[in-house]
Amino acid sequence: DTGVSQDPRHKITKRGQNVTFRCDPISEHNRLYWYRQTLGQGPEFLTYFQNEAQLEKSRLLSDRFSAERPKGSFSTLEIQRTEQGDSAMYLCASSFTSTGQGEFFGPGTRLTVL
């Protein structure tokens, strides 16, 4: 297994454009998480899925953000009408059942909104 992968690794966009990120978790993991990390801060939870069901969303996830995991495998995170404040590293993680044993993180997608 090659671990959690994310695509793209870097994305530069203009304010107002839509962007979509993809995450491929470790294959046997049924839980998938999205976090956001800004410079000098720790990651902040955005949302998580168990299989294809989205079970929790943070208040950080405004209406412009939507996440899907249609077949319980890969996931996408879309940001509509991007704003400069959306510039951050978007991290995906996966785990098997609960987080009590830790989550495995991908390399992240760095978004820059101009």
Which residues of this protein are in contact with another protein, per CB under 8 A?
4, 31, 33, 35, 40-45, 48, 55-56, 91, 93, 98-108
Least distance CB 51 / another protein (angstroms) = 13
Considering the complex, state which of residue 35 and residue 79 has its C-beta at the smaller distance from another protein: 35
- Residue appearing with tokens 């410079």: 39
CA distance 37 to 1: 25
Considering the complex, state which of residue 80 and residue 107 has its C-beta at the smaller distance from another protein: 107
Least distance CB 41 / another protein (angstroms) = 6
CA distance 9 to 35: 15
Considering the complex, state which of residue 14 and residue 42 has its C-beta at the smaller distance from another protein: 42
Other beta carbons less than 10 A from residue 52's beta carbon: 14
Least distance CB 47 / another protein (angstroms) = 9
Question: How does 14-26 read in b/e, with b if 16+ C-beta sit within 10 Å?
Answer: eeeeebebebbbb
Q: Are 39 and 105 in contact (CB under 8 A)?
A: no
Least distance CB 2 / another protein (angstroms) = 13
Considering the complex, state which of residue 55 and residue 114 has its C-beta at the smaller distance from another protein: 55
